[in-house]
Amino acid sequence: MTSQFTTTVRGLDSGETTVPLRAQIVRAAAKVTCETGWSSVRMGQLADLIGVSRQTVYNEIGSKQKLAEEMVLAELRNFLVLVESAFEANPGDVVAAIRDACRNVLEFAGDNPLLRAVVSASHGSDNDLLPLLTTQSQALIATAKAVVRDRLTAYTVPLSEHELEAATDLLVRAVLSHVMRPSGTPERSSADIAMIAARILGTTA
């Protein structure tokens, strides 16, 4: 059962705010991971950062493996919110929706080293999160593809089910590739991906 315990966060962000304990622990773990790497994360260290006991952290999270999963899920939720908002803002223009979704994600990733680490691990890059993501990496990609594919079906595109599945896979992997290794600005990269998407989907850029 998830605890409803909350405390006031001090030092992790500017100002003070009251958030659920689980979210505080995940936030603290993300901060330490970005600064010194996942292998340096310790439950006692997280407890000190948020001002609770080490046992409280264990009671809330359970294990370091579970904490890693929570971190990945948090980043995936952020990723998908950006994608969903872009499609909702462009209900009549699938190319604009794809462009905005790509730009949103790439801009977010530019300021988010944890998201880049998660995406890199899901693609087999050598970082210390990789051993913890072997079972979740494909699920991460599959979830992103499912959301994008579901959104694309709301538009009129002249593709079969198989072709739409292949197009979705290509688009998601292209964005994740740019998250890992940017080759230009988010604006330029998203415009290029949208241009290619227009050709694949048989619509106008």
pLDDT in tens, the chain (205 residues): 334 334 434 445 544 557 899 999 999 998 888 788 778 889 999 999 999 999 999 999 988 888 988 887 887 788 889 999 999 999 999 999 999 999 999 998 887 777 766 666 555 544 555 455 545 556 677 888 999 999 999 998 889 999 999 999 999 989 988 887 888 999 999 999 999 999 998 775 5
Beta-bridged to residue 127, according to DSSP, are none
CB atoms within 10 A of CB 18: 9
Amino acid at 143: T
User: Which of these, 136, 121, 166, lies nearest to 73 by C-alpha position?
Assistant: 136
Amino acid at 157: V
Amino acid at 183: S
CB atoms within 10 A of CB 55: 11
Query: What are the structure tokens assigned to 122, written together?
Result: 């899901």
**Distance between start and end Cα atoms, the chain:** 49
